[in-house]
Amino acid sequence: MDPARILVVGATGYTGSLVARELAAGDAPFVLAGRDPRKLERLAASLSGASTTVVDVTRPDTLKRLLRSGDVVVSCAGPFLELGEPVVRACVEAGAHYMDTTGEQRFMKQVVERWDGPAREVGVTVVNAMAFEYALGDAAAELAALGLARPLRLVELIYGWRGGAAATSRGTRASILRILAAPGLAYRNGTWVPERAARRRTVLELPDGSRRPAITLPTGEIVTVPRHMEVREVRGWAVTGGPTARAAALLSPALPHLVRWLLPLLDRWARGGAPGPTRAQRESGEFEIVARATGGEGGTRTVAVRGRDPYGLTAAIIVAGAGRLAGRDGASGSRPPAGVQPPVRLLPPADLRALLDDRGLRWDTL
């Protein structure tokens, strides 16, 4: 039997190219897929001649005919609310496993609702957000919840960025606009309910003892965490400056309409400029992801993950996940079951930490 191949869709993009470089440093067979043959050629040449193939996800047959049962598709072609679903469909129909770098919560919920059943039926694994957002937060939440009584009262995910760690690529900016335009989701009383970004603002006490303004954010863990632990409420927060928090909360009711109305204009801004931050920029600041869990009988545990270079980490995380799905990391026995799975089911916290050991991440339990 041929070994499972890893096929990178959207390989010519900012994140896809980092994923391609990460794969080129390993020994798994991989194919770079994109819609522009010249860009593919240039990328392959920079990687000493990787295999390439032309795929346009708006014409899913161009993908489906390439796929073999057991292949692993890594999709970096976003925005996912626009481009993501045909790739998931092609994978499930061809019997190929699927992973992506999406940060779009609504897309993640849509994939669970539409594709969990079909993926289970054909025996393929689908994992959204195998990326900086939200594999680290999903793992941190699992660690924070250890030993607490279930159902948990609350799990909170708090995102903070300093300096270059907040720098975004064109694709990320385009996806953020879709996140703001779509009605977000909160998880309360054991169910998902619509809630727009910045619906609430507060002042949070952070692990270093500082008190910082924050606004609610429709993060992906709101979709993933209730799928791997019993919990009544999951909240996502972004730490911001005070004026930003006040302005965002004030604009929040109008934000989805405003973004939808101005989308062509905002998209031009999002897709302008450099494709993404330079490596030096990415490494010039620090992010912090705090997961705080409160047990059913009280008691709170906090796990903080700190590091640099969210895009470099994304490439490392998704390539590690692809290796496991392709059965190449010597741990095929722990391959997750079929269906749409949260990131922790593919890479449990201990494995994720071990695989990212050399990436300068710090995990602290408080």
Task: List interacting residues with ligand NAP (CB under 6 A).
Answer: 10, 12-16, 34-36, 39, 55-58, 76-80, 83, 101, 103, 129, 131-133, 169-172, 175, 275-276, 310-311, 314
Cβ closest to ligand NAP, residue 44 vs residue 249: 44
Smallest distance from ligand NAP to CB 65, Å: 15
SS3 content of the chain, % helix, strand, coil (to 5): 45, 25, 35
Cβ closest to ligand NAP, residue 170 vs residue 292: 170
Residue 243: C-alpha distances to residues 168, 246, 249, 256, 271 (Å): 21, 5, 10, 20, 26
Smallest distance from ligand NAP to CB 150, Å: 28
Smallest distance from ligand NAP to CB 355, Å: 16
Tokens of 44: 């392959």
Cβ closest to ligand NAP, residue 5 vs residue 170: 170
Nearest residue to 219 (alpha-carbon basis) of 171, 270, 291, 281: 291
Compute the Cα dihedral for 358, 361, 363, 364 and give only its sign: positive
Cβ closest to ligand NAP, residue 124 vs residue 129: 129
Smallest distance from ligand NAP to CB 55, Å: 6
Q: Tokens 């954010």 — which residue? A: 217
Smallest distance from ligand NAP to CB 296, Å: 30
Q: Tokens 């969210």 — which residue? A: 310
Answer whether the bond into residue 151 is a cis peptide, omega within 30°.
yes
Cβ closest to ligand NAP, residue 129 vs residue 259: 129
Smallest distance from ligand NAP to CB 63, Å: 8
| Residue 129 to residue 136: CA distance in whole angstroms | 10
Cβ closest to ligand NAP, residue 277 vs residue 336: 277
CB 269 within 8 A of CB 295: no
Smallest distance from ligand NAP to CB 354, Å: 20
CB 175 within 8 A of CB 78: yes
Smallest distance from ligand NAP to CB 20, Å: 10
Residue 240: C-alpha distances to residues 175, 183, 197, 237 (Å): 20, 21, 13, 9
Query: Strands 154-162 and 286-294, how do they pair?
Result: antiparallel
Roughly how many angstroms between the first and final C-alpha of the chain, as a whole number? 48
Cβ closest to ligand NAP, residue 130 vs residue 144: 130
Smallest distance from ligand NAP to CB 53, Å: 11
CB 344 within 8 A of CB 324: no
Tokens of 103: 């940060």
| Residue 65 to residue 62: CA distance in whole angstroms | 6
Cβ closest to ligand NAP, residue 213 vs residue 220: 220
User: Taking CB positions, which residue lies at the least distance from ligand NAP?
Assistant: 171
Cβ closest to ligand NAP, residue 295 vs residue 360: 360
Q: How many CB atoms lie within 10 A of CB 196?
A: 18
